[in-house]
A = this chain, B = another copy of it.
Amino acid sequence: MTKIGIRYTKPRKLIFKALNHFSKPVSAAEINFYLKNKIDLTSIYRTLELMKKINIIEETEFGDGKKRYELMKNNKHHHHLVCENCGDVENIEMKEDNLLDKVKNKSSFLIKEHKLEFFGLCPNCQ
């Protein structure tokens, strides 16, 4: 009875490195491109799925039908500003206790998480 856990393989290392390289949410295709096709898209998807499950990345959607993933560096929850013109993304952190309390008061849902994204124009594109 040999039991082995999750393996930290070469593909996974590369994908982790890729995610770490970006400071914003990136799609599977972008990771693939960054890694110059070294790792199959399928494996990228599977690895992302895994990383999501073990909670080291976060999934976001900006509305263009592609899921994006971002490393939860230092575990700091944050949101994004997305430029509708050039696609540039800025991270944004803020205190949101007020907001959350407000919602918890208004509803009887048990809230586990939330996503908040802003869309507009970056300084360059204004």
| Interface residue A107 (Cβ < 8 Å from any Cβ of B) | yes
- Known contacts A90-B109, A115-B116; 18 additional CB pairs below 8 A are A61-B63, A63-B115, A81-B107, A81-B111, A83-B109, A92-B107, A94-B99, A94-B102, A99-B99, A103-B118, A109-B118, A109-B120, A109-B123, A110-B120, A110-B121, A111-B119, A114-B118, A115-B115
| Interface residue A2 (Cβ < 8 Å from any Cβ of B) | no
Shortest C-beta distance, A93 to chain B (Å), equals 8
How many angstroms from the CA of A115 to the CA of B65 in the assembled complex? 15
Chain B residue, CB-CB nearest to A60: B63
B92 and A103 contacting across the interface, CB-CB below 8 Å: yes
| Interface residue A108 (Cβ < 8 Å from any Cβ of B) | yes
Contact with B along A87-104 (1 / 0, CB 8 A): 000101010101100110
Residue tally, chain A, CB below 8 Å to B: 35
Shortest C-beta distance, A99 to chain B (Å), equals 6
| Interface residue A36 (Cβ < 8 Å from any Cβ of B) | no
A112 and B84 contacting across the interface, CB-CB below 8 Å: yes
Cβ-neighbour of A98 out of B67, B83, B98 (below 8 A): B98
How many angstroms from the CA of A110 to the CA of B63 in the assembled complex? 18
How many angstroms from the CA of A84 to the CA of B83 in the assembled complex? 29
